[in-house]
């Protein structure tokens, strides 16, 4: 049986190109004792992966040229020589952009299909959902009545950040990259205000208009000039949750901008970065809470799905053009 | 009786000039009921005052043109119609650059002259000492064995930060602006390593050399390119205490530099600003602890003193040229 895989073909400069990836065919491996063979149903493409294919020093080694592209995945066990898994089990892991993968059962978790559709294992109940949950609640610590501003608000992380902030009683404002996304935030997700950053020239003036009480919590997925403007609008004791800086992931030279630290003194404010992996001991708590909100209709999620492993590079590149609403997924095989 | 005062004559552009200040003479006021008249012994010049004479929005209204220059002061009560003060009492306050000032007793605190010389009320036992204490211990939270790097380490704040960090069992490294200051840090204050930033071109390489285990706590008095380099050398869960940004106080346009927030994500690190005034409820705790360290010979302090009210502008401007070792004071009248 053939396995199709997408490997990193070249180290991208700037915005990745399709030719930075290559589809290869190999023999599907046979599971040995204690192993299972998983068939990929969905793979996740996320902005953070840009850092994983860069030579820039980061929290993990970069993907090597010729290596299967990394990323979150959910799939179905098709063959098992592992005593805890059987064919048909749905598992979540990080086996990357390939149709089949071997596992020893240690790097996968079983997904409870009674909770929600299995695609949510990569979205609202997976890494993006956990990122929103811990970043907002643990780092941002929003209090009722405070103003929470989220950049990249129509993405997988940002859309949940805004909805959780509403549950916590905050005034919630978001920015996104198209009129349709802004409409989604206001109409479907209950944001109090939202704007299309591509149609705004004076970010500070716009923020003053939509956050008239100033900004208490800024959940930053974006960085760049919008973040510069936010620093001028923060309140005393503001918390800046540094989650992503997609604005600079494709930079070909060290990004420069306004110096921001002075604002932290004047406002006695805090900027803090985090990685969701540090919260692994509390994943279950978060997933149960999010699943409960889902069941109660208090949060909703959007997915943008493309079909076919071969379209993974295009879907990934599309993230940097803002082509996704909510979670961007690639359906490799129907569940 | 004549009173001499220094008022702000013009709003400085860039580095302040002597002509931005003017010495005036006025009648010394007479204390009314409930008031006391204080004769200034020492006045403090501090980098933060640059912000107070700028039009830049900050945590307090700017000093108006023609207004007596603000700043910390210590002096002796010469006349009192206040039931709690008597002539000869030493009091600390913020009556600024003038020989005599009236007080209603609310904006002054009595200084215990048995603790230390009265000049320390503006230094190691005053605002700079409290800034070092709360900034390092409350925001920086150094643990034994961690590396603490302090910029502006030979100044009033930095020199105490380094010594407290040594008391807490840290590997302590500082930067300063002259060979004599570096020698002072190493020989007198017990720093483990120190360097003259003016003789270093590659800050990151120098930091790797003097902080081989990376940086866990950065106490930033300076900002600018040195701070940019520190962000590349921080450890996981590092704390960046943003105390001052003297590098940019005289900037005539919004300062730009490397974008730093990405490092906070990769290292799950925190940058936090603070103002010492927020800790007023705990000043006594800090002063007692610092006085105890002083008495036990565990911390020492340096003062750079110039004589004469008329030399206050020059002493203030000298801060930005790094002319001071330790606390820069102006002696207005012998105690």
Q: Does B279 touch chain A (CB under 8 A)?
A: no
Tell me what the mean pLDDT of segment B6-15 comes to: 96
Interface test with A, best of B214, B227, B247, B261 (most A CBs within 10 A): B261
Pairwise CB contact (< 8 Å): B257 & A257: yes
Sign of CA pseudo-dihedral B167, B168, B170, B176:
negative
| Confidence band for A326, pLDDT divided at 50, 70 and 90 | very high
CATH fold group of domain A2-123+301-331: Quinone Oxidoreductase; Chain A, domain 1 (3.90.180)
> What's the rounded Cα separation, in Å, for the pair A100 and A103?
10
- Classify domain A127-277 at the CATH superfamily level: NAD(P)-binding Rossmann-like Domain (3.40.50.720)
pLDDT at B55: 80
B115 has pLDDT over 90:
no
pLDDT at B208: 98
Pairwise CB contact (< 8 Å): A242 & B254: no
Q: At which residue do the structure tokens 């935030």 appear?
A: A185
CA distances from A55 to A64, A70, A314, B150 (A): 9, 15, 21, 30
Per-residue model confidence as pLDDT tens digits over B146-190: 999 999 999 999 999 999 999 999 999 999 999 999 999 999 999
pLDDT at B198: 97
Ranges A79-93, A303-317, B53-67, B295-309: which has the least confidence:
B53-67
Closest-CA residue in chain A for B273? A265
Of A260, A263, A273, the CB nearest to B265: A273
Q: Which of residues 94-153 of B touch A (CB under 8 A)?
A: none
Q: Name chain A contacts of B57, Cβ cutoff 8 Å.
A: 266
> What's the rounded Cα separation, in Å, for the pair A126 and A248?
25
Pairwise CB contact (< 8 Å): B259 & A257: yes
| Confidence band for B269, pLDDT divided at 50, 70 and 90 | very high
> What's the rounded Cα separation, in Å, for the pair B262 and A267?
21
Q: What are phi and psi of B240, to 5 degrees?
A: -110, 110
B64 has pLDDT over 80:
yes
Per-residue model confidence as pLDDT tens digits over B189-216: 999 999 999 999 999 999 999 999 999 9
Pair B274, B241: CB distance under 8 Å: yes
Q: Name chain B contacts of A273, Cβ cutoff 8 Å.
A: 261, 263-270
Pair A92, A72: CB distance under 8 Å: yes
For residue B148, the cross-strand partners are B172, B217
State ipTM: 0.94
Q: Does B204 touch chain A (CB under 8 A)?
A: no
The mean pLDDT of chain A is 96
> What's the rounded Cα separation, in Å, for the pair A108 and B58?
51
pLDDT at A61: 82
Q: Does B60 touch chain A (CB under 8 A)?
A: no
CA distances from B199 to B186, B194, B196, B262, B310 (A): 17, 12, 6, 28, 34
CA distances from A181 to A125, A136, A331 (A): 21, 21, 23
**B2-8 vs B21-27, strand pairing mode:** antiparallel
Q: Name chain B contacts of A254, Cβ cutoff 8 Å.
A: 258-259
Q: Name chain B contacts of A265, Cβ cutoff 8 Å.
A: 242-245, 273-275
* Cα-to-chain-centroid distance, residue B259: 27
> What's the rounded Cα separation, in Å, for the pair A162 and A185?
9
Q: Name chain A contacts of B59, Cβ cutoff 8 Å.
A: 266-267
Domain range annotation of chain B:
2-123+301-331, 127-277
- Closest Cα in chain A, distance from residue B209 (Å): 19
Interface test with B, best of A273, A274, A277, A279 (most B CBs within 10 A): A273
Q: Does A271 touch chain B (CB under 8 A)?
A: yes
Q: Name chain B contacts of A223, Cβ cutoff 8 Å.
A: 259, 261-262
Q: Environment class of residue B141 by beta-carbon count within 10 Å: exposed (0-12), middle (13-18) or buried (19+)?
A: middle
Of A257, A258, A269, the CB nearest to B273: A269
DSSP state, B37?
A: E
Of the candidates A309, A316, A325, the residue with the CA atom closest to the CA atom of residue A75: A309
* Cα-to-chain-centroid distance, residue B149: 17
What is the number of CB-based contacts under 8 A between chain A and chain B?
A: 110
The mean pLDDT of chain B is 96
Pair A220, A228: CB distance under 8 Å: no
DSSP assignment of B228-270: HHHHTTEEEEEEEEE---GGGTT-SS--EEE--HHHHHHTT-E
Q: Does A262 touch chain B (CB under 8 A)?
A: yes
pLDDT at A252: 86
Q: Name chain B contacts of A245, Cβ cutoff 8 Å.
A: 259, 261-262, 265
A93 has pLDDT over 70:
yes
| Confidence band for A262, pLDDT divided at 50, 70 and 90 | very high
pLDDT at A91: 97
- Closest Cα in chain A, distance from residue B145 (Å): 23
Share of chain B above pLDDT 70, in %: 99
A308 has pLDDT over 90:
yes
| Confidence band for B1, pLDDT divided at 50, 70 and 90 | confident
Q: Does B268 touch chain A (CB under 8 A)?
A: yes
| Confidence band for B60, pLDDT divided at 50, 70 and 90 | confident
Question: How many angstroms separate the first and last alpha carbons of chain B?
Answer: 19
B85 has pLDDT over 80:
yes
Of B58, B248, B267, the CB nearest to A266: B58
Pairwise CB contact (< 8 Å): B220 & A271: no
A30 has pLDDT over 80:
yes
Q: Does A264 touch chain B (CB under 8 A)?
A: yes
Q: What are phi and psi of A231, to 5 degrees?
A: -60, -25
Cβ within 8 Å of residue A112, ≥6 positions away: none
DSSP, collapsed to helix, strand or coil, labels residue B54 as: coil
Q: Does A297 touch chain B (CB under 8 A)?
A: no
> What are the start-end ranges of the E strands in A163-210?
171-176, 193-196
Q: Environment class of residue A250 by beta-carbon count within 10 Å: exposed (0-12), middle (13-18) or buried (19+)?
A: middle
pLDDT at A57: 64
Pair B170, B148: CB distance under 8 Å: yes
For residue A91, the cross-strand partners are A75, A110
Per-residue model confidence as pLDDT tens digits over A124-160: 999 999 999 999 999 999 999 999 999 999 999 999 9
> What's the rounded Cα separation, in Å, for the pair A56 and A11?
11
pLDDT at B57: 64
B67 has pLDDT over 70:
yes
A60 has pLDDT over 80:
no
Of B245, B268, B278, the CB nearest to A262: B245
């Amino acid at each position: 049986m053939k396995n199709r895989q997408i490997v990193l073909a070249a180290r991208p400069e700037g915005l990745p190109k399709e030719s930075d990836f290559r589809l290869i065919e190999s023999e599907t491996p046979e599971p040995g004792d204690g192993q299972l063979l998983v068939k990929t149903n969905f793979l996740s493409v996320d902005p953070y992966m840009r850092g994983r294919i860069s030579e820039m020093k980061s929290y993990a080694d970069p993907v090597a040229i010729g290596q299967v592209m990394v990323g979150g995945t959910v799939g179905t066990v098709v063959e098992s020589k592992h005593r805890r898994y059987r064919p048909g089990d749905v598992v979540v892991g990080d086996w990357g952009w390939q149709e089949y993968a071997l596992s020893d059962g240690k790097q996968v978790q079983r997904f409870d299909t009674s909770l929600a559709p299995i695609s949510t294992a990569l979205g609202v109940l997976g890494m993006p959902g956990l990122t929103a949950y811990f970043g907002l609640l643990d780092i941002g610590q929003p209090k009722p009545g405070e103003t929470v501003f989220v950049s990249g608000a129509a993405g997988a992380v940002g859309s949940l950040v805004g909805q959780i902030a509403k549950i916590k009683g905050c005034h919630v404002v978001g920015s996104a990259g198209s009129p349709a996304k802004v409409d989604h935030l206001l109409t479907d997700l209950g944001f109090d205000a939202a704007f299309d950053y591509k149609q705004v020239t004076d970010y500070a003036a716009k923020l003053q208009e939509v956050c008239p009480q100033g900004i208490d919590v800024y959940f930053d997925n974006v960085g760049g000039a919008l973040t510069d403007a936010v620093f001028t609008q923060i309140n005393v004791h503001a918390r800046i949750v540094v989650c992503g800086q997609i604005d600079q992931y494709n930079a070909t030279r060290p990004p420069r901008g306004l110096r921001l630290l002075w604002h932290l003194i004047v406002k006695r404010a805090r900027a803090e970065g985090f990685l969701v992996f540090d919260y692994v001991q509390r994943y279950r708590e978060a997933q149960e809470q999010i699943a409960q909100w889902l069941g109660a209709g208090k949060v909703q999620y959007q997915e943008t799905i493309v079909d076919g492993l071969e379209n993974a590079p295009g879907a990934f590149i599309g993230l940097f053009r803002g082509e996704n609403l909510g979670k961007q997924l690639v359906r490799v095989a129907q569940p």
